[in-house]
């Protein structure tokens, strides 16, 4: 046998062992009900907001918290301090620099928790905040939160008017998550006269002297931002002098909208910020602490707590449907999962199919409901990406009722096809949610006011549709492929909206194009493969920093298991099955696998709001390497790339 064949056999043998160990590790984490759920974590802003909510609901009396609140506030404060950077600030992704909004929120929360202003940690934090521009440089939501306690001037924070509820379908031009945030927040702003803070409590020490508090304006006669800043001045005048009857009607409409979306959901939107603002809104609307609606809202919010004591932290939401779809896909490709395990997963997913018309139906009123959400229950908000991933997982698992599964998959395919936007791409929750002027409103600096189409979701949807039998010649697939070719970056990569970043977008775009029948000798495919090879790290892996969202370009980082897996999957989809880059990437994954079949990963590779909020999916580091190694194994063994 030649040395080359011996090397190939040795690599395939190593891959086979790694696939087996990874499959066993993943199967061991399946819960009895059939699903997978790993932790989903973020930055200290969640714990900071937890302390803010405790101050809202249970302010200290005579300088003393009640015992349960004292314990929770203390745990949250310790969790925050454990992640303080050497320069005193707080970041929004691991290994990232200090960020002003996270640092301001932490300062407020720690001071509320009783950390002394002359504590060395607070001194360093205060100095870092001032070096970053002071509280004036924080984002609008940070300022709004502080204004609720009269700690930032109300006249210098954006108005969120409940009257928007009376403006037809205006609220549905915002992204679903923005909608879920600002509607309860509008109630809070309208009804809150200013919550009390401990006597003498102030944040004046982190205001940068000489720095204006006013909204920044663009140069020039007319811009959308300047128009919205002017509109904000009108809204503030309206709040003082406007028709009170109209405001009461708007608040009632906002309340009704919010209450309706509590049904069949684990909290409003089943995500952290709306759930927090919803509790505040219920409080101001007069729902007593023992009212069933408020009790349930607070219970769902408290359920996001993971760990206690020194390990206390909040999750932004739960991710069981997403984790299960990816796990089923990876295990199915590996061919190592018992049929019974995949059957239980399939049964669980079928029970989670959406059969209710949600917010998406405003733009698609005649479309029959289907699809899947991200969390345990979020019936109003199925998302397109989850639906595609679940379909990719279900094709590997035969549920107990095959006829039901077939009907469910057909409904989901039809739903996906009809959720395509006019530009040919797919977004996360809505179709044609791209009214660009709204990105200029004063409270749009969370960088996610809209839900436009993106290459990563488009690629995954195309792969799912083609896998489920939609022909490559179908008009939706042709339009999706044209969208991907049109949105390719000059360097050959694709932007990744929901994963970090260009590696994620590129791997999914390539898989979508391969499923659509694009030849691996076409220029856009060749350019993408060359780009992936060009950014490989010296250790054979791939890594990318969240900083790329700020610079608009790829920013290299240390190799991670998930991003290495994405790059390998992208290269395989591009037709590269044997280059040294692919081999070295596979060797990196095999070599970094731990004895128990898992991988270590410390960087955030998930994206919430680009430049503002990032996510660490603790499932990614194990599911995606398994998928990549299984695909490599099948390809080198002469099987079809899956």
Catalytic residue annotation: 385
Which residue, among 266, 280, 305, has the nearest Cα to 182 in the 3D structure?
280
C-alpha to C-alpha distance for 232 and 218, rounded to whole angstroms: 15
Contact 61, 581 (CB under 8 A): no
Strands (E), 528-599: 542-544, 556-560
Cα 278 from Cα 187, distance rounded (Å):
9
The answer to whether the beta carbons of residues 129 and 100 sit under 8 Å apart is yes
Report the C-alpha gap between 16 and 381 in whole angstroms: 39
Burial of 17 (0-12, 13-18, 19+ CB in 10 A): middle
* Phi and psi based region of residue 335 (left: phi greater than 0; alpha: psi -120 to 50; beta: remaining): left
**Number of helical H runs and strand E runs in the chain:** 23, 7
Q: State the DSSP H helix or E strand holding residue 306, giving kind and residue range, or none if neither.
A: strand 305-306
**Is 342 within 8 Å of 395 (Cβ atoms)?**
no
Handedness of CA 358, 364, 370, 375 (dihedral sign): negative
Neighbours of 310 (CB within 10 A): 9
Q: Are 524 and 489 in contact (CB under 8 A)?
A: no
Tell me how crowded residue 580 is: count the other CB atoms within 10 A of its CB: 11
Tally the C-alpha atoms within 13 A of residue 442's C-alpha that lie toward its C-beta: 25
Cα separations in angstroms, 320 against 352, 496, 618: 10, 22, 12
* Count of residues making up the chain: 642
Q: Tell me which residue of 590, 491, 575, 606 sits closest to 541, measured CA to CA.
A: 590
Tokens 């140069």 label which residue? Answer: 219
């Amino acid at each position: 046998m030649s040395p080359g064949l011996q090397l190939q056999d040795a690599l395939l043998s190593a891959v086979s062992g790694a696939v087996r160990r990874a499959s066993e590790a993943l199967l061991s984490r399946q819960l009895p009900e059939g699903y997978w759920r790993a932790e989903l974590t973020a930055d200290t802003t969640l714990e900071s907001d937890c302390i803010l909510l405790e101050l809202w609901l249970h302010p200290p009396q005579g300088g003393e918290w009640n015992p349960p609140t004292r314990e929770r506030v203390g745990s949250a404060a310790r969790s925050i301090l454990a992640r303080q950077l050497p320069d005193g600030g707080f970041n929004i992704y691991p290994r990232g620099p200090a960020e002003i909004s996270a640092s301001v929120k932490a300062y407020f929360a720690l001071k509320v928790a009783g950390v002394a202003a002359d504590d060395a940690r607070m001194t360093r934090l205060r100095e870092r905040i001032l070096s970053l521009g002071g509280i004036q440089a924080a984002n609008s939501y940070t300022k709004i939160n502080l204004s609720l306690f009269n700690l930032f001037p109300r006249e210098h924070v954006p108005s969120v008017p409940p009257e928007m509820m009376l403006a037809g379908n205006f609220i549905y031009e915002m992204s679903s998550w923005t909608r879920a945030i600002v509607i309860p927040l509008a109630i809070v702003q309208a009804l809150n006269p200013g919550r009390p803070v401990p006597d003498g409590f102030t944040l004046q020490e982190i205001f940068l002297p000489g720095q204006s508090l006013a909204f920044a304006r663009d140069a020039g006669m007319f811009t959308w931002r300047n128009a919205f800043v002017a509109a904000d001045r009108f809204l503030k005048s309206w709040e003082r002098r406007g028709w009170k009857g109209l405001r009461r009607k708007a608040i009632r409409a906002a309340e009704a909208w919010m209450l309706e979306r509590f049904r069949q959901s684990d909290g409003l939107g089943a995500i952290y910020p709306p759930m927090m603002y919803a509790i505040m809104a219920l409080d101001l609307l007069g729902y007593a602490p023992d009212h069933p609606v408020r009790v349930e809202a607070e219970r769902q919010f408290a359920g996001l707590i993971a760990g206690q004591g020194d390990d206390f932290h909040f999750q932004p939401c739960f991710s069981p449907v997403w984790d299960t779809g990816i796990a089923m896909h990876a295990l199915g490709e590996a061919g190592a999962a018992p049929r019974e395990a995949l059957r239980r997963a399939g049964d669980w997913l079928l029970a989670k199919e959406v059969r209710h018309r949600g917010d998406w139906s405003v733009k698609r009123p005649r479309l029959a409901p289907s699809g899947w959400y991200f969390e345990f229950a979020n019936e109003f908000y199925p998302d397109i990406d989850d639906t595609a991933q679940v379909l990719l997982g279900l094709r590997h698992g035969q549920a107990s009722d095959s006829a039901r599964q077939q009907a469910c998959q057909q409904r989901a395919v039809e739903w996906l096809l009809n959720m395509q936007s006019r530009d040919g791409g797919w977004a996360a929750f809505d179709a044609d949610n791209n009214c660009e002027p709204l990105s200029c409103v004063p409270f749009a600096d969370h960088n996610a006011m809209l839900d436009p189409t993106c290459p990563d979701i488009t690629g995954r949807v195309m792969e799912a549709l083609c896998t489920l039998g939609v022909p490559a010649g179908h008009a939706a697939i042709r339009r999706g492929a044209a969208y991907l070719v049109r949105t390719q970056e000059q360097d050959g990569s694709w932007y990744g909206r929901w994963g970090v970043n260009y590696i994620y977008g590129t791997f999914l775009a390539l898989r979508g194009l391969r499923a659509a029948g694009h030849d691996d000798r076409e220029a856009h495919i060749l350019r993408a493969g060359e780009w992936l090879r060009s950014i490989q790290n010296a250790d054979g892996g791939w890594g990318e920093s969240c900083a790329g969202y700020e610079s608009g370009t790829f920013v290299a980082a240390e190799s991670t298991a998930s991003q290495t897996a994405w790059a390998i999957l992208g290269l395989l989809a591009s037709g590269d099955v044997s280059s040294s880059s692919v081999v070295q990437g596979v060797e990196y994954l095999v070599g970094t696998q731990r004895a128990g079949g898992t991988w270590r990963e410390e960087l955030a590779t998930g994206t919430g709001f680009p430049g503002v909020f990032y996510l660490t999916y603790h499932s990614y580091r194990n599911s995606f390497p398994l998928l990549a190694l299984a695909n490599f194994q099948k390809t080198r063994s002469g099987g079809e790339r899956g």
